[in-house]
Chains A and B, each alone.
Chain A
């Protein structure tokens, strides 16, 4: 905690990683500021040192990797996710979910994918689609570069704000042609944070579910990967009303400790987990059918 924090703007990723490693627990990484500044302004956080990674060219750009992934630099803002032709064509689920993020245009213009993910905020909109897409993340800590599934990062709270690691890139396999997708977000009103959300991917074969990915967010302090439960219920079946109801029940049952906050009380959140899951699956199936 400091009234007079210090500031560094490293020019290279290596410099930034070295600096952060040398600062032990006192350094805080900042880029767009959309996640960090509210806490600083309210006096909740008072970092000793800001490490501004906004100047790191290594963290910019949306590219195709040699192995055919879409590589999204950590400094990519929501606005780019919404409009980038590659993301729109190859990861339409992500492009769409980015439009549903809160804060309006002003925040979409500055909020980065890296900041959104490291915040590990259960109500945010970028992690659910990426987890459904089985994305990987790449991060740097000291001299070490680590690549791991996003799921592993989300399971480990040490990568949140204040850690010495820098998230550098998100890697996602392009969505296959004909894959149905949907992002369903339930919020109490226009300005409210999400009360429940679901990202769904579905592959149909002759009108029946052949494969499914389903992630539910904003209902518990961690995202819920409901893919296995969904697959057990749905694979080989048509997604009709009966299957939808069964899915809703199964997903709600996965919410062991629902959040209870300004976005709504626990019992309702638990029920809504099922509702958004069912609706997301229905929309994804409809889209797959059209494709």
Chain B
């Protein structure tokens, strides 16, 4: 464990940007139509790639005939998977299952001889323009021998199941037990055992900007620059170097503005290295822009949980058992499969039960692969636990809020060691639940509910809790817990901050600028934040796991403090006073004796008077610093457990729904959240994160679904079929803060990026099930489409619809 820096949790003495709804140029650019996204870049000689994809879930490739494509005017290259494999090595896994005792499949850029999912790349065509490339791609003829596909969890675990990965002895990539205490004894002495099966469907983050990669080959230096939608430019550079067989030093990854990512733009995608290869072979820039149909191939979240809760008659949760299976689709180098691991690791969430018996089984199937999705499996923990707890409350007659409050880790128990080895930093879960219920007017809604349904519309109230470990670090992977920033003050006093973290469009550069402005005691307008370029930025790990403000802001603060110390030394020398006498605010050094110096004058002196007033420092005014949260622990404890997270943001969600019994439609009438993300840097940005995550949860609970037919062909191929929340679907959210600062991070930050997906979805499901109580039914299969709710009400379980 690294040492804790007692100064880290303190707020800076001067300034006052932190905590305010500050706006910066970063937030202005898209409004002016001035933000440049990856697909906005084009270069002289630009070529365009189009990819031929498998229409089958599982098949042998008998023949790929590229001649039709090569006949199209404007086509400069057409290749099949076999040819590509001659140039490119396997794609290194972002998180290799083998590192954690699982099985590692070799993932190639394109299918060679055998296809393992619908949509897998089979051939690629490069042409002078995108339309020609797509047209030519449609002229490629591929002969397949179709084989039976493995689509569901049940298919995958069947004893005679075909093997998705040739050479594997089953379809399990990793199975992990999370066991603590003596769950069998606890179940034996329990007064009640409540079993619940929760089915979470396949849904996806679907940022409005699809992926795009544009590779530029520079012959002069035999180097590559990849412009693209990359959340993690430096780690992606490492992957490209491995796949292409080039040194990292001759590859630059530049991630410009990103139009939403939510995990989908973490790397491992085949198109990243493919586009680089094409540019290298052709000595010309090659660009690929993902179509929405292609983007919809990327799945996530599909899990089946078989839960058992052991309870005393008073309502104490004595033990938890959960056998769960994740349908992670075909093998991929992307980090999606790891979501299933996190689902298990985050058990039993905010609850203090010690006797647990949880088994995670991550399966490969012939559906397209997952990638990371906001929540990263922690949303599934919340869904499974919160639906099961409500089921217990219903069956045993407990009040759902009281049942939770009774079983939470109490506020005075932090830091708290969870039964899976996590170290929860801080929290007041009961307080947050009470706040959320007060915010929504829980008792008034209950009274209205008691008046009975109106015209067949039934009110339902739901609460749920979500614990969201943030800022994760997995040993032996590029999921790092630390990150670095550089702060530079130029001779004119302007400030440039370069960070290893990146933004997918969440606004963290504004938050980081606020932090640096306060640390440097200068106006925020003087600060510009640069991110996402491996040539200019310090080595860093980019954006994931709600980390960007925790470690990006923390490291920028440390770097700013070092630069400030340089400037204070120069200013003190200029004024002939002690450093302790100086006060710095609003860009002015006050000597305490009536004299003052402008920030820019001190900067100028630091650069130009290195042999007198600035001889006390080492120029330039620049510092790089790393923030490594001290409470991450990778050395295993006696039970072999690690604590990969520094921060445990959490939130309570409360909602009221109205269910139309004639149609099954669910209408959200009210929504409230009590949110603990630690210290709030910018309330506008935190609200945006929280409400955005809630929209993900509501969409997942009610409408978003990727469907397949029985043969494994994807049915959901456009936004006509993949329906996401629109403005009219979102209730106003009453967001209240219930912050308990993290003692181990800069200013107590916990991360605000992910919390909300699972908690809000669970609150909605619980509210619908509350509304369905008069019918004696409850639904634990997501999404709660009107058809499914209607079928439950009318006892038509076979009519709910459903797909593989």
Q: Please give, as numbers and ranges, the residues of chain B lying within 8 Å of A195 by CB-CB distance.
A: 786
B706 CB, min distance to chain A CBs, angstroms: 10
* Bound-complex Cα distance A268 to B707 (A): 18
Given A43-B138, A262-B723, A268-B790, A188:B662 Cβ within 8 A: no
Of B663, B715, B718, the residue contacting A186 (CB under 8 A) is B663
Within 8 A of B (CB), among A126-184: none
Q: A188 vs B704: C-alpha distance in the bound complex, in angstroms?
A: 11
Say whether B134 contacts A188, CB under 8 Å.
no
Contact A188 B723 (CB under 8 A): yes
The 8 A CB mask of A251-291 against B (1 = contact, 0 = none) is 00000000011101111100110010000000000000000
Q: Does B191 contact A (CB under 8 A)?
A: no
Let me know if A239 is at the binding interface, CB within 8 A: no
Contact flags B629-673 to A (C-beta < 8 A → 1, else 0): 000000000000000000000000000000000111100000000
Q: Is A66 at the interface (CB under 8 A from chain B)?
A: no
Residue A124 interfacial (CB < 8 Å): no
CA distance A160 to B727 in the complex (A): 33
Any A CB within 8 A of the CB of B131: yes
B785 within 8 A of A: yes
Report A-chain residues with C-beta under 8 Å of the C-beta of B600. Answer: none
Identify which of B307-315, B335-343, B480-488, B793-801 touches chain A: B793-801
The reply to whether B293 and A42 form a contact with Cβ atoms under 8 Å apart is yes
A191 close to B134 (CB less than 8 A): no
Does any Cβ of B come within 8 Å of A24's Cβ?
no
A271 partner residues in chain B, CB cutoff 8 A? 790, 794
Assembled-state Cα–Cα distance A264/B787 (Å): 6
| A263-B707 Cα distance, complex, nearest whole Å | 12
Complex Cα distance, B763 from A235, in Å, reads 47
Contacts of A262 in B (CB 8 A): 707, 715-716, 720-721, 723
**CB-based contact A268/B725 at 8 Å:** no
Interface: B492 (CB within 8 A): no
A6 CB → nearest B CB, Å: 15
Contacts of A264 in B (CB 8 A): 785-787, 801
Pair A189/B72 contact, Cβ less than 8 Å:
no
Cβ distance A26 to chain B, nearest Cβ, rounded Å: 17
Contact B785 A188 (CB under 8 A): yes
- When distances are taken between beta carbons in the complex, the residues of chain B under 8 Å from A265 are 787, 799-802
Question: Please, what's the 1-or-0 string for B696-712, where 1 marks a CB less than 8 Å from any CB in chain A?
Answer: 00000011000100000
Interface of A is mostly: loop
Cβ–Cβ < 8 Å partners of B794 in chain A: 271
A38 to B662, CA, bound (A): 34
Contact call A3/B703, Cβ cutoff below 8 A: no
Chain A proximity mask over B270-295: 1 for CB below 8 Å, otherwise 0: 00000000000000000000010100
Picked from A3, A43, A268, the residue with its CB within 8 Å of the CB of B799 is: A268
Determine how close the nearest CB of chain B comes to the CB of A129; give it in whole angstroms: 21
Given contacts A262-B721, A268-B786, contact A188 B138 (CB under 8 A): no
Q: Which residues of A contact B802 (CB under 8 A)?
A: 265
Does B595 touch A at the CB level, under 8 Å?
Answer: no
**Given A262-B707, A262-B715, A268-B787, A192:B723 Cβ within 8 A:** yes
User: A188's closest neighbor in chain B, by CB?
Assistant: B786
Q: Which of B131-177 contact A (CB under 8 A)?
A: 131-132, 134-135, 138
B728 close to chain A: CB less than 8 A: yes
Chain B residue at smallest Cβ distance from A279: B662
Indicate if B490 sits at the interface (CB-CB under 8 A). Answer: no
A289 CB, min distance to chain B CBs, angstroms: 18
- Name the interface residues of B711-745: CB closer than 8 Å to any CB of A: 715-716, 718-721, 723-729
Contact check, B728 vs A190: say whether CB atoms are below 8 A apart.
yes
Task: Tell me whether A193 is interfacial, beta carbon within 8 Å.
Answer: yes
Q: Is the CB of A189 within 8 A of B799?
A: no
Q: Within 8 Å CB of B665, what residues of A?
A: 186, 188
Minimum CB–CB distance from B291 to chain A (whole Å) comes to 8
Chain B residues in 8 Å Cβ range of A261: 721
- CB of B723 within 8 A of CB of A191, answer yes
Decide if A268 touches B664 in the complex (CB within 8 Å): yes
Find chain B residues with CB under 8 A from A189 CB.
Answer: 702-703, 723, 725-726, 729
Considering only CB atoms, which chain A residue lies closest to B139 in the complex?
A3
Which residues of B sit under 8 angstroms from A46, Cβ to Cβ?
Answer: 135
**Most chain A CB inside 10 Å of its own CB: which residue of B293, B787, B794:** B787
* Distance (whole angstroms) from the CB of B482 to the closest CB of chain A: 41
B791 within 8 A of A: yes
Q: Are the CB atoms of A275 and B662 closer together than 8 Å?
A: yes
Known: A260-B801, A262-B707. A191 touches B729 (CB 8 A): yes
Q: Tell me, in angstroms, the Cα distance from A23 to B529 when the chains sit together.
A: 59
Query: Contacts of B785 on A, CB cut-off 8 Å?
Result: 188, 264
Complex contacts, B131 vs chain A, CB 8 Å: 3
CA distance A38 to B664 in the complex (A): 31
A264 to B723, CA, bound (A): 12
Contacts of A192 in B (CB 8 A): 703, 723
Expressed in whole angstroms, the minimum distance between the Cβ of B526 and any Cβ of chain A is 40
In Å, the complex CA distance between A266 and B787 comes to 9
Residues of A within 8 A of B291 (CB): 42
Residue pair B138, A190 in contact (C-beta under 8 Å): no
Q: Among the interface residues B721, B726, B785, which one has the most CB atoms of the partner chain A within 10 A?
A: B785
Tell me, in angstroms, the Cα distance from A189 to B664 when the chains sit together.
12
* Shortest Cβ gap from A205 to chain B (Å): 27
**Smallest CB-CB separation from B785: which chain A residue?**
A188
Contact of A191 among B715, B718, B724, B786 (CB under 8 A): B724
Q: Are B723 and A3 in contact (CB under 8 A)?
A: no
Interface residues of B in 611-645 (CB under 8 A from A): none
Within 8 A of A (CB), among B752-801: 785-787, 790-791, 794, 796, 798-801
Contact of B132 among A3, A186, A191, A272 (CB under 8 A): A3
Given contact pairs A189-B729, A264-B801, A267-B799, A275 touches B723 in the complex (Cβ within 8 A): no
Bound form: Cα–Cα A61–B135 in Å: 39
A residues in contact with B720, CB < 8 Å: 193, 262
Q: How far is the CA of A138 from the CA of B715 in the complex (A)?
A: 37
Contact of B729 among A190, A260, A268 (CB under 8 A): A190
Interface pair B663/A275, CB less than 8 Å apart: yes
Kindly report which residue of chain B lies nearest to residue A38, judged by CB atoms. B718
Q: How far is the CA of A38 from the CA of B719 in the complex (A)?
A: 11
> What CA separation (Å) do A265 and B802 show in the bound complex?
8
Mark contacts of B677-707 with chain A using CB atoms, 8 A cut-off: 1 yes-contact digit, 0 otherwise: 0000000000000000000000000110001
CA–CA, A70 and B664, complex, Å:
39
Let me know if A42 and B718 touch, CB within 8 A: yes
With A3-B132, A188-B785 as known contacts, state yes or no: A267 contacts B796, CB within 8 Å.
Answer: yes
Contact of A3 among B72, B719, B787, B790 (CB under 8 A): B72
The one of B134, B293, B791 in contact with A268, judged by C-beta atoms closer than 8 angstroms, is B791
Nearest-neighbour CB distance to chain A for B761, whole angstroms, equals 14
Residues of B within 8 A of A272 (CB): 663
A4 shortest CB reach to chain B, Å:
9
Q: How far is the CA of A38 from the CA of B721 in the complex (A)?
A: 14
The answer to whether B725 and A190 have CB atoms under 8 Å apart is yes
Is A190 a contact of B715 with CB atoms below 8 Å? Answer: no
Q: Closest approach, in angstroms, between the C-beta of B28 and any C-beta of chain A?
A: 24
Contact mask for chain A residues 8-42; partner B; CB cutoff 8 A; 1 contact, 0 none: 00000000000000000000000000000010001
Q: Mark B226-255, 1 if CB is under 8 A from A, else 0.
A: 000000000000000000000000000000
Q: A262-B716, A264-B785, A271-B790 are in contact. Are A191 and B726 (CB under 8 A)?
A: yes
- Offer 26 A-B interface pairs, CB within 8 angstroms, sorted by A: A3-B72, A42-B291, A43-B138, A186-B665, A188-B665, A188-B703, A189-B725, A189-B726, A189-B729, A190-B725, A190-B726, A190-B729, A191-B725, A261-B721, A262-B707, A262-B716, A265-B799, A265-B802, A267-B791, A267-B799, A268-B664, A268-B787, A268-B790, A268-B800, A271-B794, A275-B663
- Given known contacts A43-B135, A186-B665, A275-B662, what 14 new A-B pairs fall within 8 Å (CB)? A42-B293, A46-B135, A186-B663, A188-B665, A188-B785, A190-B728, A191-B725, A191-B726, A261-B721, A262-B707, A265-B802, A268-B787, A271-B794, A275-B663
Closest 6 CB pairs of A and B: A265-B801, A267-B799, A190-B726, A268-B787, A262-B721, A190-B728
